Structure 1
Amino acid sequence: MEILFLGTGAGSPARSRNVSSLALKLLDERNEVWLFDCGEGTQHQILRTTIRPRKVSKIFITHLHGDHIFGLPGFLASRANQGGADELTIYGPRGIEDYVRTSLRVTQTHLAYKLRFVELKPGVVLDDKTFRVTADHLDHRIEAFGFRVEEKPHAGELLVDKVRAAGVPFGPLFGQLKAGKTITLEDGRELNGQDFIGAAQPGRTVAIFGDTRQTPRELPLAEGADVLVHESTFGVDEAKLAHQYYHSTSVQAAKLAKKAGVKKLLLNHISARYVGKLAKDLQYQARGIFRNSTVVGDLQEIEIPFVKETDHD
């Protein structure tokens, strides 16, 4: 699992930062990409990566401000032109379907794949065999959401040394034990596959927030996450301005990360006023509260590794 930041700026494109979008790359058997927001120019940013638009299966929209959705119609059209044929699901606040379908109708854009829309409400919005996604309201000028993406535990691995020690001949019986089945050996012994499978590997959790100022609803979404992606539109000296415009400072995000017990804080949605050293100052401010804080940049990729239980000791 990896996060690729396609746009880390706030409000409007800047020289060094495009507007909001990030890709969550699921590198397991799903081999899918989920986008979170799709600001203007997102498809241009994707051209600078290895992402194939047809691999994008889901798009989660945090809120309907332009810097988070103006790139959506263009991306959808390009996905069709580049061979995308599989259904794509868009999760977003009320109004997202009207926006997309109106854009496609007015421009007479015809997609070669089916679009499905899920109107967001607080609670579980996706739950399948490998992932559970929960959404809740944040505090912005319009309806806005944060997401908690929880990967379900991976099945434990076959304890090969233990299997060999039990005298099981290599071959189909290995596969049956790995599937948890009971097998019978030539000498009459019965072996239960569950006794030869290691502990399940905990899944990873990523919390991805849209624009927001401080709200108690952030905490349950972020609790214990491996990675928290949080906006940092302003610095600590502009806390009043952040509150006025329904945004957050780097220090406020860091305080949440510390309280929630997350492992890593990634700060994005950076105002254009913070360039060069000033952006580093945002990171410095956050690290004074929560050490593992990073101000991310466009096209920066962050791997989210598995964490073994012993790593918590």
Structure 2
Amino acid sequence: MLRILFLGTGGSLPTRNRNPSAIMVNREGELLLFDCGEGTQQQMMRAKTGMKALTSIFVTHFHADHMLGIPGLIQTMSFLGRTEPLYIYGPQWVKEFVKIISELGYYKLHFEVEVIEMAPGDIIKRNDYSIHAIGTDHSVPSLGYALIEDQRKGRFEREKAIALGVPPGPLFSKLHSGVDVEVNGKLIRSTDVVGQVRPGRKIVYTGDTRPCQSILAVSRDADVLIHDSTLGNDQSEWAKESKHSTASEAAILAKEAGVRKLVLTHISSRYTDDASPLLREAQEVFENVIIAEDMMEMDIPLKDE
């Protein structure tokens, strides 16, 4: 399972229908949180995600709308008896930030908070996937993140293996793992019965940024690109000045990168009543695009190529 849950999709200001930035990824039951704006823990409660399986928080930058939810969230997890460590990743200042919040509120956590400062190009390797830190172009030190799954084994051709004389059982597993076997004096090669390796999935989240080459490079053939789309074309100069992107700029990048789906997020409060202009502007450039809404879920299917 690889599922994206949009807990907060608004811009700098919360609105009546959009919380500040927070995106949760559920990968095989492990919860990863990308940004944690104000009210994130309540959104998690509404979505019934639970908190025990949350292993990591990846902060894109230290503007308030991307991190104010962290102090309350970790206090709640402590009150609920958490003992497992929580990992918080972020750009420059992440260690100072965690030190400050650890001294707030006269409380003592019952679990460790491990802090890891990341720089563009850094990679966190996990079981069967990795998180890549991406340099972005914002008004403060900032990162985007890409979740990239490892390649999967090729399909095991069971009937072909049987036809070659391989009995069902442990030898199937060896062959599928890339080990050649001998049956009745005959060498059966793994490549005879196992197809080409299959690609894993890729999700890219930009955080707040101008369109930039580093995001373009990592987004090549991504399953989902979640891109800053704060403003419309009529506000393009303000987007440049404030170091954000317009919806059409995100679409141009998505088209060039060949992504499968573009999701527009960090929607300015200007569009509280109607964000459809942003969608229309993006669709003029790139067809497979949607606007993220709070509590929207998206399952990312496996791909075989």
TM-score range relative to shorter protein: over 0.9
Q: Where does residue 272 of structure 1 map in the other structure? A: 269
Would you say 1:295 and 2:291 are equivalent positions? yes
Q: What residue in structure 2 maps to residue 181 of structure 1? A: 179
Amino acid across the alignment from 1:210: G
Distance 1:44 1:61 in 2: 18
CA contact (8 A) 2:61 2:140 kept: yes
- Quick one: distance in 1 between partners of 2:219 and 2:167? 47
| Structure 1 counterpart of 2:303, one-letter code | V
Q: How many residue pairs align between the two structures? A: 304
Indicate if the aligned counterparts of 2:121 and 2:135 stay in contact, CA closer than 8 A.
Answer: no
Matches within 5 A, 1:154-193: 154-185=152-183, 187-193=184-190
Is 1:207–1:225's contact at 8 Å kept on the other side of the alignment? Answer: yes
Q: Post-superposition shift, 1:83?
A: 4.1
- Aligned equivalent of 1:92, options 90, 93, 103: 90
Q: Mapping of 1:1-313 within 5 angstroms?
A: 1-27=2-28, 31-185=29-183, 187-276=184-273, 278-309=274-305
CA contact (8 A) 1:267 1:293 kept: yes
Q: Which blocks of at least 5 consecutive residues in structure 1 are unaligned?
A: none
Contact 2:180 2:190 in 1 (8 A): yes
**Take 2:178 and 2:221, find their aligned partners in 1: how far apart are those partners?**
31
- Aligned residue type for 2:292: V
Segment of structure 1 superposing worse, 215-224 or 147-156: 215-224
Percent sequence identity is 37
Distance 1:129 1:44, change over 3 A: closer
Separation in structure 1 between the aligned mates of residue 37 and residue 47 of structure 2, nearest angstrom: 16
Report the Cα distance in structure 2 between the residues aligned to 1:96 and 1:90, rounded to whole angstroms: 8
**Worse-superposed segment, 8-17 or 61-70:** 8-17
Give the Cα–Cα distance (whole angstroms) in 2 for the partners of residues 257 and 93 of structure 1.
Answer: 24
Aligned counterparts of 2:295 and 2:302: Cα–Cα separation in 1: 22
The two structures, once aligned, show a CA RMSD in angstroms of: 1.8
Deviations 1:57-111 (A, max 9, x none): 1111000000000000111122233343322211112222222222222323322
Kept in 1, the 8 Å contact 2:98–2:115? The answer is no
- Counterpart CA distance in 1 for 2:39 and 2:118 is 24
State the TM-score, normalizing by the size of structure 1.
0.91
Q: Is the 8 A contact 2:31 2:55 kept in 1?
A: yes
Task: Tell me, in whole angstroms, the C-alpha distance in 1 between the residues paired with 2:168 and 2:239.
Answer: 63
- 2:122 is paired with a residue whose SS is strand
1:4 counterpart SS class: strand
Q: Kindly provide the amino acid, as one letter, of the partner of residue 223 in structure 2.
A: D
